[in-house]
Amino acid sequence: MSMHKTSAHISAAPDVAVPDAPAGRSRQEVDFWIDCVGAPLVLMEGQVLNVRYANRSAAVLFGRGLEGFGGCSVEELVGPEATLILGQIWSVAPVGVPGEPFLIRAQVQDQERVLMVQVTKVAVEDEILRLFSFMDAPPQGSVTLAGWQENVTSLLNWLPFGFEIASSDDQIQFANSTFKEMFGYTQDEISNIEDWWRLAYPDPDYREFARAQWYDSIAIARAENREMTPFDLDVATANGGKRTIQFRHRTIGNFNVNLYIDVTRERSYAKELKVLADTDPLTGAMNRRRFFEEADRIHAKCQRSAAPVAFLMLDIDHFKTINDCYGHGVGDRVLIEFTRRCRDVLDPGDCFGRMGGEEFAVVLSRPDPVAVHDAAERLRRAVGACPFGIDADLLKVTVSVGGAICVTDESVGSAISRADNALYDAKKAGRDRSIVR
């Protein structure tokens, strides 16, 4: 196995390092450099932490012959609890740069030992591996410190939200188990902050929006020495799903502390409740309250830009007769089909709502009275052109339409009242017709 050209130096402990290894070294030469270090060194696969090679000092520490390391897991060397901590130290320093040392309480040869561990990423051929150095921790206070470290790690893993500690340049140093479960990305997949932006926000436009939101919010918070104002973003997960995440951030010393709260369900419920609050439950059209909110919004926008706006009032002809002859169940199905036909011929920007019973209303922007009248006629023809097929019956359904084009400074209420009067005139004139004033 030859060394990759970017391998730099291999650090075994805070004060011990292997000299730079030139590119193109053989596997034997890699082993030679590791064996030159007196501290125990174990070379492992990046994510699954299976042992590729260990030096003679590691063989003594863990009580194995060198041939006994091939393919074994780190759990076999240090026990499950220590393995959990090892798997959560992301150590995303650049290749060849050692990470910060930390302590683990390990089960080594059936005995508890407190070890000081340091992790260095190394590039071997075309693969990134992790080089672990293990040394007995200095005795004074180390057992107590290791116990605190274990308790803090357990506490962070218990948290129901993602917790992350990153360096000042946003490189991940520690992530709790909830972070991994939430997003599903491995340490190797997010080896630097650019990997996160690329994977979590695959759409380039949304990525730039998310990046700007993140850095702008952090800059404001740091300038005011406070926590970042929380905000939501949609994040892509490793399994192809999407989660709505609330982001919280605080800079503490030289570290960034980030919280990731999954609010997908809450935001989905909020959207559903809003739809229920804004929608007529039978037809799916806007209900009366929501219609008038949208009418006020569109009217104000058109008034500011001096754009034309018109209001149409629609009433299904002889609807009471349908209910009386066929029952209210059939009447409901007529209302549903009526709504579908109207929506099919309206423009996406038009606002369509049910005022109550068989009466509906539309707000639309059209350039002139002719266009408004054409829209009213399209609605009338869409309803009356073909009978409504209800079970085995074919029902002839027609609609009368009244319209009013809003004049300068006219209120929504005034324009709708004029449209309602035009609707009354259409019905009085024989129904199945449109009149626009």
Residues labelled as active-site residues: 358
C-alpha closest to that of 115 among 88, 90, 150? 150
CA 380 to chain centre: 44
Q: Is the dihedral of CA 15, 16, 22, 25 positive or negative?
A: negative
C-alpha closest to that of 270 among 217, 236, 232, 298? 232
**Which residues are CB-neighbours of 27 under 8 A, at least 6 positions away?**
1, 2
C-alpha closest to that of 424 among 397, 403, 398, 394? 403
Q: Which amino acid is located at 377 in the chain?
A: E
Give the CA angle between residues 107, 113, 114 to the nearest 5°.
120
H or E, element range at 232: strand 231-236
Q: Tokens 């590729």, residue? A: 52
Q: Which residues are 178's β-sheet partners?
A: none
The Cα–Cα gap between 91 and 118 comes to 9
Please count the helices (runs of H) and the strands (runs of E) in the chain.
14, 19
Q: What is the DSSP letter of 363?
A: E
CB 238 within 8 Å of CB 183:
yes
CB 405 within 8 Å of CB 323:
no
The Cα–Cα gap between 317 and 5 comes to 82
Q: CB-side exposure of 377: number of CA atoms within 13 Å?
A: 6
**Which residues are CB-neighbours of 137 under 8 A, at least 6 positions away?**
103, 114, 115, 116, 145, 146
The Cα–Cα gap between 377 and 369 comes to 12
